[in-house]
Structure 1
């Protein structure tokens, strides 16, 4: 089993480069999850670290873990109070006319017996804001940098579809699931400010499956 890559470490925090396809919690159908691997990340500490925020199973990249309950409480509050800078890279299935912009579409959760649950853009939903910038276009697909202000469930995935007019490549819920083995979204950068301490800063390199489609970190 490939060791988990640690991008940042100090006495109260770890940031790991979560592999795409690894769920945080034990799947109902069984199989490996990050939960099974937390002991690998103790590094001499008695407590196992605990994820502060969530990344979808398919999403790779920066995941912050707290190494004690007090740190977990403070970091959770930082996410809640928007004191965290998040930078994502996603491959959109299509070409974009504009170079950059801001998507402000409120989101609401719906569910049906046939399709399960998903998020939709809805005026009465919760506020969701994402800034985006086109990075490169190759083979009809576009690499986009996303900087979400809010942290709604599936925010970037539904904002790509409803705001940019094209879903993320490989997305089985908001797209057709084709073109890639997973939803092509990567948490490339994370910065968390801390009172009286230097900020937590981490950068996750572009994964191999992004590179296989011709894209690079530049």
Structure 2
């Protein structure tokens, strides 16, 4: 059962679990569980995905209950009327508030995008971050006797593929648990000491204009057990 965060006759939002695909994909033919199909069966209605979250990311995921409502919501995403914020745990101390304005080259999938143009110019990508908490733990890595971590809030202003993960890597504060862009030694060290093994990225909040009621709607998703465990260990 998915945790439903908001539902009316027009839209429904869930707290997507980490590790679950949004919808069926031929790139992951062995998977049997998907948010879209699970939610459809759970509420007994067709659902229309408005945006997506990477498989290892948890948090607010929005669906429409009709194609007309879906079109209205998609327009808001395209015209940047939707506000999103994420929580992340990153390597090292990251404090203060800053903007990352760093264009990202389009990433092509070897199978799905094999006929796509490869020489496109990097696309504009902008992310704001705010350092919330820091901690140092006696977790030794091959290079250091201790490990430093920071809890940050990330606000993307563009929607490039893996934008937050790539931007944090760019400023040398990769997100913990990121097997593609992160620090593998730090990931392994964190898991050995805490048993936390997921990507520490969570879509905490989504704010948009309700497509029918025309009022600002804000949906917030709570943290899962691995997040809560790490927050307790780090005394955040």
Instruction: Indicate the TM-score class for this superposition, using the shorter chain for normalisation.
Output: 0.7 to 0.9
With structure 2 as the length reference, what TM-score do the two structures score? Answer: 0.78
Could you say which residue in structure 1 is the equivalent of 2:105? Answer: 108
Could you say which residue in structure 1 is the equivalent of 2:33? Answer: 32
Could you say which residue in structure 1 is the equivalent of 2:142? Answer: none
Counterpart secondary structure, 1:11 = coil
Could you say which residue in structure 2 is the equivalent of 1:159? Answer: 167
Distance 1:85 1:112, change over 3 A: closer
Q: 2:228 aligns with which of 203, 207, 211?
A: 211
Q: 1:70 aligns with which of 44, 68, 74?
A: 68
Could you say which residue in structure 1 is the equivalent of 2:43? Answer: 42
Could you say which residue in structure 1 is the equivalent of 2:82? Answer: 84
Please show how residues 166-177 of structure 1 align to structure 2 within 5 Å: 166-177=173-184
Counterpart secondary structure, 1:181 = coil
Shift of 1:24: 1.0
State the number of aligned residues. Answer: 205
Q: Deviations over 1:72-105 (max 9, x none)?
A: 0010110011000101001102222x41100001
Q: Deviations over 1:168-207 (max 9, x none)?
A: 0010110134234221100000011146522232011122
Mark the structure with the bigger radius of gyration: 2
Structure 1 unaligned regions, length at least 5: 118-122
Tell me if structure 1 keeps the 8 A contact 2:106–2:123.
Answer: no
Shift of 1:106: 0.7
Could you say which residue in structure 2 is the equivalent of 1:120? Answer: none
Counterpart secondary structure, 2:215 = strand
Distance 1:79 1:110, change over 3 A: closer
Where do 4+ consecutive residues of structure 1 move more than 6 Å? none
Please show how residues 117-132 of structure 1 align to structure 2 within 5 Å: 124-132=121-129
Distance 1:134 1:106, change over 3 A: same
Q: Bigger CA drift: 184-193 or 7-16?
A: 7-16
Could you say which residue in structure 2 is the equivalent of 1:181? Answer: 197
Counterpart secondary structure, 1:21 = coil
Q: 2:93 aligns with which of 92, 95, 99?
A: 95
Tell me if structure 1 keeps the 8 A contact 2:84–2:205.
Answer: yes
Distance 1:199 1:10, change over 3 A: farther
Tell me if structure 2 keeps the 8 A contact 1:104–1:128.
Answer: yes
- Partner Cα separation in structure 2 for residue 83 and residue 41 of structure 1: 29
- Partner Cα separation in structure 1 for residue 158 and residue 108 of structure 2: 22
Shift of 1:6: 1.1
Structure 2 unaligned regions, length at least 5: 115-119, 138-147, 191-195
Tell me if structure 1 keeps the 8 A contact 2:82–2:207.
Answer: yes
